[in-house]
Structures are given as C-alpha cells and as structure tokens.
Chain A
C-alpha cells in the first residue's frame, strides 16, 4: 500500500469537488438571473439616475448576452475572480476570505464541543447500557438534537452573557488577543455544537454496542487484556469511525446554525455576510460566499474521508 492509491483517490475526490462546485455555480447563476428586478438598480437604490444605472450595468457586464455572462462568471471563478463588490469596489473573494476565518473558528469550536462531550457520553452510555446514566444520556441527547440551535444561542446569551455576565455577549474579540477571541467563541460554538453532542453521543453509543459484541473483543478478553485497554484502544477506535463521516456531512448543517449564532452574537463570519448581503440584495457577495461555503463543504468531506483513511486501515487500502 504505497502513496499511489491515496493519490488516485485524492484525484477522484478533486474531480468530484469540481463537478459539485460547477453545479452549485450554475444553480446560483440561474437563481440570480431569475430574480425579478435589475441588480444594478437595486444596488444603487431608488434615487440613482438612469445613466448611473446604465454605467453600472456595463461595469457588471449585465448588458452582455446571458451565455457571455455565464462564461465570464464560470471562468472567473476558477481563476479566483468572483467579481467586484459593487459598493466598496473590492474583490468579492477578498471580502469573503476576510470573513471565512471567523466561521471556521466557530465551526471548529462547535466540532470540539461535540467531540469532547459526545464521544465520552456515548461511550459511557454504551458501557453502562440500561443503567440510569444511559437513560439520562439518551434523553439529553434527544433533547439537545430537538431544540433548535438559535433558541439555544439566545438562551445562552441571556443566561451566561446578559444575566450572569460570565462571558462576553457580542463580537469576536480583540484582534490579536487569542484569549479574548477564545472567550468570545465559547457561547456561539456551544450553541452550534450542542445538538451535535447529542448526535455524536447517540452514534458512538450505538456503534460502541455493536463493536463490543464483535468476536475480536471476545478474543481480546480471552487474552486477559485489561478492560480499559479493550474499551478504549480496541473498541472505541472502531466505534468513533462513523463519527468522522457524520461530522463531515454535518458541517453543512453547522453552517446553517452558524448563520444564527453569528447574528445572535453579532459575530463577523460567512453566515452573517450571506444574510446581510441577501437582505441588501448584494448579489455578487451572495454568490461569492455561497461558492466559498460550498467549496469549504466539499473540502471538509474530503478531509473527513482522509481522516477515516488514517484511522481505518481497511479503508486506507481500499483507496483508488
């Protein structure tokens, strides 16, 4: 098992990513084309003169036939040119990439919460199957999955920031001050990740129970290995594998929750950018952020597959 199968696998994923992004681009283009109203007029507001609108239309390329517009858009994207943000005159990609790290930090924080709480909870529930711990973990998991993340976000804000004043309420923290930024990250990432604590706890519990029944676990017991080693090194290593896939797919949902968390906690980020730019009909920014988000989503799933490959030798040699 050399590097080549992994390379071939990566290549396959890359092609798939290009296809997915292309489809997303086509849909976006079609959507914006279908939207009633002239984007140039909308961008300039009601008091713009027809000459101003016309000149902006030319600058935005809206006077060209549709297929020219599409090709410009499509080929531009692959060159990293997502167009110019009309109001500030800055490249869309720059504006979007400025916001991306905040959302990345938020999602990384959410994943940390869900992994740090979900895996141990699911593991304990599986080991104490049928006991009161298992029941409590089961009910709490269902509950945190059911309650919408924006309700959790607002209540977290109310309790920990407004009433108790333990944690900061708004913003992303002082630039350059990592401690402050982490402090600002605690509540929003908890709001995004809490539901995933439930998902992961349930999944780890289920796969743990399955793995503990496997005959290699019986073999390990018959070899007198310490129960702790059997649970954590032999069983949990297998039981957490589905979690990685779950999280990879879950990033899409987390991006949804991130929109709410960023609005509630007044954090900068892609979610807030999309929301604001849709409300202000700033379409180049909408397409730009959605494309970057889609690319990010595709990328995360590639990472998830590679992580599984690193953890599961059966998958690793199946690459290619």
Chain B
C-alpha cells in the first residue's frame, strides 16, 4: 500500500490534519475564541500565521481547533452510523421477509431525499446544534451501511458452515456474532473510511449555513461563512476555512480509494 503514491499522499494529509487537531493547543497558543477588536482583519504574518477574522480572532488557532470538531464529528457519527447500520442490516438480512422489505423501502426513501433538505428539516425540529449535524450524518449513512450488511448477511446465511452451526443448535445471536459479523466488517470499514469526506462536508456545510456548530465554537464551515461574509475585505479568512476542508476530504478520499483497491477490489465502481 505504501507503494501507491496516492495512498502515501492520502496518509500524509490525514496525518497532517489529525496531528494538527490533536496538538492544537500546543501548536497555536492563541485562544481560538478570543475577540480582539484592535486586530480585526490582520493579514497573515508572523504574529497571526493565517491572519485574523472580522472579530480579530486568530485564524490559525481556529483552524486547528476546528479540526478537532470536524474529526470528532466525523469519527463519532460514523461510528454510531456503523453501529446502527450493522444492527438494521443484520435484522433485515436475518429477520423475517416482511421486515426486510419494510426496511429496504425505508432505506430507499431516505436515500432519495436531498441531503440539504433533510438537514434543513431536522434543524427546524432540533434547532441548530451539533446534535442536528450528527443526526443528519446518521440518516445519510445508515441506509448504505445497512444495505451492505444485509446483502452480505443474506449471502452468508445459506453458507454451509452457517447452516452447520445452526443445526448444531447455535443461537441466532451466536451465529450473527461468530459467523456473520466478522465476514462483513472488512468491506464495511473500507466504505466507512470512504464516507468520512462526506461527513466532513456535511458538518462544514451545515455550519456554513449556520445550522450546525454554534458560535463561538470554531468550525471550518463557520470560518468559511465568516470569510464569505467579508470576502471583499479579506481573502485569507475564506482561504483559512476552505483549505483544511479541501485537504481533509482529499486526504481521506485518496486513503480510502487506495485501501479499497488494495484490500477489496470488488467494491470498485460503487
């Protein structure tokens, strides 16, 4: 895998973003939320590596701390989506036929709904918050994961060793845990890693629209929104908000593509 130049690039970008987020307090000493009216719109320089925004906040610090939010949301909500998707997929694949049909119908309905409309609708219910972001991510991701799990479960259900285990009196839970889950988890994790850029885009997009993370919490989408509002005064706010989004999505995408090609070429073209 390290022989693939794109994979190496992907890993490097992901590492860059992760390390930046983990060591944010160490790398950027400025408080990301500290307003300093005298320093409004300072261009990038020695004092403020990425400049300051319309409230005089240090953008470099905001970007690194925004990375914490982005990665936490991405990993957290992906993990929850995986868990829910797995359970629903196993139920659909292993459970009764009518339940399977019903779940598939629901998955299809959820998938055909434009993501932004879904987000807007949920925000009207919950109000703008991190929770809303996580719920949107879950609703977007779960149908795909559940479908994969379901297909694999149905394929494995009739495999000989599963039938053998059943005939020897293994409980449903045991069959699922010991015989089916280990076989479906690999492709699922690869798909999930390829979905991380989508999750990052959802978080940033909703925060950009003012539907996600609430100010003054730093978020890449919020920085981008600040920059957009002041795009004629300063270009660097937009640059500071957008570059990390681009680098992160590219990094995870290149990494995921390489992982898929190396470990599971069958998933190609999905």
Contact = CB atoms under 8 A, between A and B. Distances in A.
Q: In the complex, is A directly touching B at CB under 8 Å?
A: yes
B191 to A, nearest CB: 15
A260 B205 contact: yes
Contacts of B113: 252
Interface string B228-251: 100110010010001001100110
Interface residues of B, number: 37
Interface in A264-287: 264, 271, 274-275, 278, 281, 286
Nearest to B268: A206
Nearest to A145: B253
B6 A139 contact: yes
Residue among A147, A151, A158, A162 facing the most chain B CB atoms (10 A cut-off)? A151
A265 to B, nearest CB: 11
A263 B227 CA distance: 14
A142 B116 contact: no
B227 A154 contact: yes
Interface stretch (B55-63, B117-125, B151-159): B117-125
B112 A147 contact: no
A256 interface: yes
A155 B243 CA distance: 10
Interface residues of A, number: 37
Interface in B195-215: 197, 200-201, 204-205, 208-209
A281 B201 contact: no
B114 A252 contact: yes
A162 B232 contact: yes
B41 interface: no
Given A146-B250, A151-B245, A274-B117, A162 B235 contact: yes
Residue among A23, A154, A275 facing the most chain B CB atoms (10 A cut-off)? A154
Given A154-B227, A154-B238, A206-B269, A271 B116 contact: yes
Contacts of B132: none
Contacts of A220: none
A158 B241 CA distance: 13
Given A158-B231, A274-B117, A293-B117, A148 B205 contact: yes
B64 interface: no
B6 to A, nearest CB: 7
Given A151-B224, A260-B209, 13 more contacts: A31-B124, A139-B6, A143-B250, A143-B253, A146-B249, A147-B249, A154-B224, A154-B228, A158-B235, A206-B269, A252-B113, A259-B120, A260-B208
Interface of A: 23, 31, 34-35, 139, 142-143, 145-148, 150-151, 154-155, 157-158, 162-163, 206, 252-253, 255-256, 259-260, 263-264, 271, 274-275, 278, 281, 286, 290, 293, 297
16 contacts: A31-B124, A34-B125, A143-B250, A146-B197, A146-B252, A146-B253, A150-B224, A154-B231, A154-B242, A157-B228, A163-B235, A255-B114, A256-B114, A278-B121, A278-B123, A297-B112
